[in-house]
A and B are shown apart, each in its own frame.
Chain A
Amino acid sequence: MSFLKVEGLMVKVGEKTILEDVSFNLKRGENYVLFGPNGSGKTTLLNALMGVPSYEVARGKITFMGVDITGFPVDERAKLGISMGFQNPPEIRGLKFSSLLKLCAGKSEFDEEDQKLIEAFRLTEMLDRDVNVGFSGGERKRAEILQMLLLKPKLLLLDEPDSGVDVESLKLIASELQRYTESTGSSALIVTHKGDILEYVEAEHACVLLDGRTHCFSNPKRIFEQIKSLGYEECVTCQKRKAVGWRNG
């Protein structure tokens, strides 16, 4: 039984079709990297997997741990163990960041381990602030990952965890993610444009999202090297991806 199985997914936002035909498999305990140029639909895919209502699945199927979750609401998916970090998380006035973290952790007070984690993420000083209000870009990013880790998910959906963060923050985020997935046997689906995070996180599989379709199923490092040297332009003109054998792994 595959852990996460995405089959022939077509996703619309309003009238516009963003994803045409997306398929891939993710095994438990493995990390998966999704490359793609800006606007290729990477964020759309994560939102569709999380069940965000404005991302309508028009065709296809999402199976998580043997359950067809295609029609499940967001909170049901979260309870099954899927967690998503937002690229642009909203501000929630009047809700303390500490309260949200406690909600995530399902505890009324932090234990020592939680406190260490909060400190490692350099967010102790933000605890009394309202959620995301006055947070810098880097702080938001760290706050998202921290919430995800406290939720103890089985599948982490990470939307460009390596964009807009300094090297120190990236190292921290990546090492904590690596530690979490390794120690819990959970999986991460990592969306990345630049691929910087691959220097710190081990991933087994990857593909490229382009024109609303998944292509080029291969080893993450290999794809990353190619993109680094040739750019996404090469993917666009690449004739191989048009060949039948490259589709859907």
Chain B
Amino acid sequence: MAEKSELTRIPHQILAEAYRVGLSPSEEGRSGTFLHVDQNTIYSKINEFFKGKLELMDVKKAITEHPWLKDMVWRLIEKDKDEYTRKVAESFSGGYFMRILPQAEVTFPIQSCLMITEEGLEQRIHNIILAEEGSKAHIITGCLQHSTVNSASHIGVTEIYVKKEATLNFTMIHDWGKETWVRPRTAALIEEGGAFISNYLCLKPVKDVQMYPTAVCEGENSKVSFNTILYGHKDSRLDIGSKAILNGEETRAELITRAVAGNSSQITVRGLIEGNSPGSKGHLECRGIILDEKSLIHSIPELIARRKGVEITHEAAIGKISETEIIYLMTRKMSREQAVSTIIRGFMDVGIMGLPKHLEEEISRIVDLAAGS
């Protein structure tokens, strides 16, 4: 742990940019660091203290090192799913392979950053996460483009395996540019007693993001949570879904979204919970705030129950900011603008994400910046 971060050999400007999406440049409070810029993995390192608890490397290298990994690539997502998956299947530049070893408790988050620095680049990524039996870990991964880049696109395929009794908390932060297209394709498979918590934040301008990650709770007593916080900016189009397939008995799903649409942005929030097994329960919740006349929030919840004893609930509420709340804060000496941003900031509550305190504070900082902008 006392070793000096080798990240210092990475250009300062790159690190400064990556800090925007939660990368700790000193690697302090992190168990490992992965950095992929444009078409290359330029950094991948496990902190001394966590060696023997996890593996972290570029996915191409991992496939050579672990022949068994071949069976896990393209297992959860079909190559032919759409034009984007076909592109990645055709060629990709790399991606992270993260493996938390059996029974390992990785107390500090593993951090990753996928960055675009080249104008017009179409970045194609394939990531694999393997949380082995009984392991526990937090991952924070940021995807962004360098602030000098105007337009780019990012296609990321991510396959996540949560083994028996493992707990994986996965937080993804996007920070793109207003001309950039983004197509993440993510799927997770959760075994008996496993828990997968997926947090997604997209708070900065982007041209178009479309994603609909799927988690399959295959094992008995497995759980999944999707927590999503979205802030739509000028002309952004966000089409963000989350899907939970509850196949195992006594499985649980919770899908929560907070969406703020301003500046003529269009946000579609999809959610689907499918209960295929007795005793499976799910709850889907979408709350939205519309800030102007030209923005739109479209909530599309779907609940499917195929067995007696399945319980799935849903609630959604979209509206403007409560005038009473604004006035209340104005009586506390806040200007109207301060009151509005304080309410929006509160609405985008990171507290829903089940993060450890220090990570919650870091993510809060990112949300503070977004709410203030």
Contacts and interface: CB of A to CB of B under 8 A. Distances in A.
Contacts of B322: 90
B346 A104 contact: no
B263 interface: no
Contacts of A100: 329, 332
A147 B347 contact: no
Interface residues of B, number: 23
B256 to A, nearest CB: 12
Interface in B128-164: none
Q: Which of A50, A93, A94 has the most CB of B within 10 A?
A: A94
Interface string A39-63: 0000000000010111000000000
B332 A94 contact: no
Contacts of B345: 94-95
Interface residues of A, number: 25
Q: Is the interface of A mostly helix, strand, loop or mixed?
A: mixed
Nearest to A132: B328
Contacts of B348: 94
A167 interface: no
B102 to A, nearest CB: 36
Interface string B306-349: 00000000000000001111011111111110010011011111
B354 interface: no
Contacts of A73: 330, 336
B120 interface: no
Contacts of A84: 331
Interface stretch (A7-15, A74-82, A186-194, A223-231): A74-82
A74 B327 contact: yes
B351 interface: yes
A95 B342 contact: yes
Given A52-B327, A74-B327, A92 B343 contact: yes
Contacts of B343: 92, 95
A151 B331 CA distance: 10
Given A93-B347, A94-B346, A94-B347, A79 B328 contact: no
B349 A89 contact: no
A84 B328 CA distance: 9
Contacts of B324: 90
A73 B331 CA distance: 10
Q: Which of B323, B331, B335 has the most CB of A within 10 A?
A: B331
A130 B336 CA distance: 20
Q: Which of A83, A93, A104 has the most CB of B within 10 A?
A: A93
A128 to B, nearest CB: 10
Contacts of A86: 328, 331
B333 to A, nearest CB: 4
A103 B343 CA distance: 13
Given A94-B345, A95-B346, A103 B334 contact: yes
Contacts of A50: 331
Given A93-B346, A94-B351, A95-B346, A75 B333 contact: yes
A126 to B, nearest CB: 16
B327 A53 contact: yes
B347 to A, nearest CB: 6
Nearest to B345: A94
Given A86-B328, A90-B322, A75 B334 contact: yes
A226 to B, nearest CB: 33
B332 A78 contact: yes
Given A73-B336, A75-B336, A93 B330 contact: no
B342 A78 contact: no
Given A90-B325, A95-B342, A75 B347 contact: no
A135 to B, nearest CB: 14
Q: Which of A50, A79, A100 has the most CB of B within 10 A?
A: A100
Nearest to A50: B331
Contacts of A89: 328
Contact of A79 (B323, B327, B333): B333
A78 B330 contact: yes
A239 B327 CA distance: 40
Nearest to A88: B324
Contacts of B325: 90, 92
Interface in B278-330: 322-325, 327-330
25 contacts: A50-B331, A52-B327, A53-B327, A54-B323, A73-B336, A74-B330, A78-B332, A78-B333, A79-B333, A83-B331, A84-B331, A86-B331, A90-B325, A90-B328, A92-B328, A93-B346, A93-B347, A94-B345, A94-B348, A95-B345, A103-B332, A103-B334, A104-B332, A106-B333, A130-B346
Given A75-B339, A92-B343, 5 more contacts: A74-B331, A75-B330, A75-B333, A90-B325, A93-B347
